[in-house]
Amino acid sequence: KAGVTQTPRYLIKTRGQQVTLSCSPISGHRSVSWYQQTPGQGLQFLFEYFSETQRNKGNFPGRFSGRQFSNSRSEMNVSTLELGDSALYLCASSLSIQETQYFGPGTRLLVL
């Protein structure tokens, strides 16, 4: 069974731009979570989706948003990019919100 897929793997943007990251979960998984990983703050939870509904949200500004589609694929969007948004963005999927998460390889975003 294929793992979690994230696209693109690498991205370079400039301040003020917006970016959309994509996550395709493991087949059959209906829950998707997003995390931001930076050297300073470590791994921080962004949001969790299940059946197209946001179930949990971390402590991030409104510039960070996400959605989940009927096929369980998820996207996250960051508007008005700041230098501090440079990070590895990890997506994880699970069968449901009560099941173990499996992580994708991440999208590395660099904001210049």
Partner 1 sequence: AQSVTQPDIHITVSEGASLELRCNYSYGATPYLFWYVQSPGQGLQLLLKYFSGDTLVQGIKGFEAEFKRSQSSFNLRKPSVHWSDAAEYFCAVGAGIGGYGGSQGNLIFGKGTKLSVKP
Write out the binding residues for partner 1, residues 78-97 only, by CB under 8 A: 90, 92, 94, 97
Both tokens of 108, joined, read 């590395």
Strand duo 53-57 + 64-68: pairing: unpaired
Q: How far is the CB of 10 from partner 1 (least distance, A)?
A: 10
Instruction: Return all residues near 100 (Cβ < 8 A) that are at least 6 apart.
Output: 94
Q: Does 56 bind partner 1 (CB under 8 A)?
A: yes
Q: 76: which residues sit within 8 A by CB, 6+ positions away?
A: 20, 21, 23, 34, 46, 47, 64, 65, 66, 89
User: Is residue 36 near partner 1 by the rule CB under 8 A?
Assistant: no
43 in contact with partner 1 (CB under 8 A): yes
Q: Which residue in the set 17, 63, 99, 110 belongs to the binding site for partner 1 (CB under 8 A)?
A: 99
Binding site for partner 1 (CB under 8 A): 4, 31, 33, 35, 42-45, 48, 50, 55-56, 58, 90, 92, 94, 97-106
